[in-house]
């Protein structure tokens, strides 16, 4: 099997391991997605990469292998920004990417939010937790996602709908427990050439994420170290990011006080106690309702940290899409879209498409 050979390249000692070439990484991930590798071997491979540290050529190879087998929508849709938050979700803060996406769509961007539902090991709250109580939904059909983006300027699509071969890997993810390169690869399933906003965890992975996006040919994108490694900026402190502007990588910092959007606390979810073994926030009806209520409150104009964070997120999406030249311009456009009721109208329009 391919992974057995490549595991010998990686070795058992991280200090002596050799990095994979892009071609080797492509072969490895193609074999994994093809279903020809055992769960034990796949788990060993992912763990070895975590020990060693994944490189840009490796992520490029994994992403290209995944894209070669995925059905990716919206390849030729103009003004598109693909939003790629962590698919295992959040458990302490409400997922505000839906609110930000709807606001950005109301302000003129076309937004494709790539997410999923109850992804292990975290099984946190995602767009799916928010959309259904709003009367909307996440689709598993790439063609339907493209139709919604074209007609309604917003869609949330499941990454396992784009690439069903990821679904059998969920048990491996649950057993390995820690984050692996799978968490990054699934965030790279975006239309080639489209703008991308991708969440990155703290540390040097921010630069790696930006370099991979640039290498994959996305001329205008943003990698952001937002809340929980997501795409929504902090409201209590600075958020770091990197903007990809064709051949240039430009540091990006978002300071909430610069825009009058700073708060004393971040948006929070109520405490319900620790989840049962094998369950997460997405399995708790109270937390699902609280996350949806937070988005509904933002769309209704309620002031507070969640609104401020959603406006910052929408500004990032608008800047990445090219609809706003600066974050400040994006915040102005997002605020107008929210306060005019255009974001709420966007929800009603999307409901008519879903029916």
Contact 300, 291 (CB under 8 A): no
Helix (H, G, I), strand (E, B) or coil at 158: strand
**For the whole prediction, is pTM greater than 0.85?**
yes
Three-state DSSP class for residue 143:
helix
Contacts of 317 (CB under 8 A, 6+ apart): 81, 83, 100, 101, 104, 109, 111, 197, 231, 330
CB < 8 Å & 24+ apart, contacts of 302-305: 304/263, 304/267, 305/235, 305/263, 305/265, 305/266, 305/267, 305/268
Residues 139 and 337: beta-carbon distance below 8 Å: no
Nearest alpha carbon to residue 159 among 101, 196, 114: 114
Q: Give the residue range(s) of CATH 1.20.970.10 domains in the chain.
A: 2-69
The pLDDT of residue 355 is 67
The string of DSSP letters for 296-339 reads HHHHTT--SHHHHHHHHHHHHHHHHHTS-SSHHHHHHHHHHHHH
Q: Are strands 220-224 and 110-115 parallel, antiparallel or unpaired?
A: unpaired
Q: Which helix (H) or strand (E) holds 22?
A: helix 22-33
Q: Which residues contact 150 (CB under 8 A, 6 or more apart)?
A: 74, 77, 110
Tokens of 143: 């063609």
Q: What is the pLDDT of residue 247?
A: 81
Q: What is the C-alpha to C-alpha distance for residues 196 and 192, in angstroms, rounded to an integer?
A: 10
Reduced to 3 states, what is the DSSP secondary structure of residue 326? coil
Q: What is the mean pLDDT of the chain?
A: 91
| Contact status, residue 86 vs residue 199, Cβ threshold 8 Å | yes
SS3 169: helix
Q: What gap in Å lies between CA 181 and CA 78, rounded to an integer?
A: 30
How confident is the model at residue 11, as a pLDDT?
66
The string of pLDDT tens digits covering residues 185-200 is 999 999 988 999 999 9
Which stretches of the chain drop beneath a pLDDT of 50? none
Measured at the CA of 157, the angle between CA 130 and CA 199, to 5 degrees, comes to 75
Question: At a CB cut-off of 8 Å and minimum separation 6, what does 179 contact?
Answer: 50, 88, 201
- Are the C-beta atoms of residues 146 and 74 closer than 8 Å to each other? yes
Amino acid 13: pLDDT = 63
Q: Of 123, 138, 42, whose CA–CA distance to 89 is shortest? A: 123
CATH for 2-69 (3.30.465.10, 1.10.1040.10, 3.90.79.10, 1.20.970.10): 1.20.970.10
Distance between CA atoms of residues 101 and 117, nearest Å = 18
Spatial separation of the C-alpha atoms in residues 25 and 252, rounded to whole Å? 30
CA 105 to chain centroid:
17
Separation between Cα atoms, residue 311 and residue 319, nearest integer Å: 12
Domain 80-354 has CATH 3.40.50.300: no
In the chain, CATH 3.40.1030.10 sits at: 80-354
Is 103:334 a contact under the CB 8 Å cutoff? yes
Strands (E), 74-181: 80-84, 110-115, 154-158
> How confident is the model at residue 193, as a pLDDT?
83
């Amino acid at each position: 099997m391919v992974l057995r050979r490549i595991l010998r390249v990686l070795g058992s000692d991280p200090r002596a391991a050799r990095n994979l070439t892009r071609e080797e990484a492509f072969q490895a991930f193609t074999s994994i997605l093809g279903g020809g590798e055992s769960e034990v071997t796949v788990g060993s491979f992912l763990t070895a990469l975590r020990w060693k540290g994944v490189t840009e050529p490796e992520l490029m190879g994994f992403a290209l292998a995944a894209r070669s087998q995925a059905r990716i929508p919206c390849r030729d849709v103009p003004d598109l920004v693909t939003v790629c938050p962590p698919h295992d979700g959040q458990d302490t803060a409400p997922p505000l990417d839906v609110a930000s996406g709807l606001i950005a769509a109301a302000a003129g961007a076309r937004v494709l939010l790539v997410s999923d539902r109850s992804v292990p090991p975290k099984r946190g709250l995602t767009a799916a937790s928010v959309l259904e109580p709003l009367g909307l939904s996440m689709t598993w059909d790439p063609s339907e996602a493209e139709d919604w983006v074209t007609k309604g300027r917003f869609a949330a699509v499941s990454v396992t709908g784009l690439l069903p071969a990821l679904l059998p890997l969920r048990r491996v993810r649950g057993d390995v427990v820690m984050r692996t390169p799978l968490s990054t690869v699934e965030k790279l399933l975006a239309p080639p050439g489209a703008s991308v906003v991708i969440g990155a965890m703290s540390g040097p992975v921010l630069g790696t994420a930006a370099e991979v996006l640039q290498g994959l040919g996305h001329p205008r994108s943003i990698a952001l170290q937002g809340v929980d490694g997501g795409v929504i900026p902090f409201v209590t402190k600075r958020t770091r990011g990197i903007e990809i502007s064709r051949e240039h990588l430009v540091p990006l910092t978002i300071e909430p006080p610069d825009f009058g959007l700073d708060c004393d606390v971040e948006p929070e979810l109520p405490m319900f106690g620790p989840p049962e073994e094998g369950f997460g926030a997405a399995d708790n009806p109270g937390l699902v309702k609280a996350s949806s209520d937070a988005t509904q409150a933002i769309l209704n104009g309620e002031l507070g940290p969640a609104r401020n964070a959603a406006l910052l997120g929408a500004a990032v999406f608008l800047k990445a899409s090219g609809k706003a030249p600066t974050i400040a311009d994006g915040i102005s456009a997002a605020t107008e879209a929210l306060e005019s009721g255009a974001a709420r109208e966007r929800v009603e329009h999307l409901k008519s498409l879903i029916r």
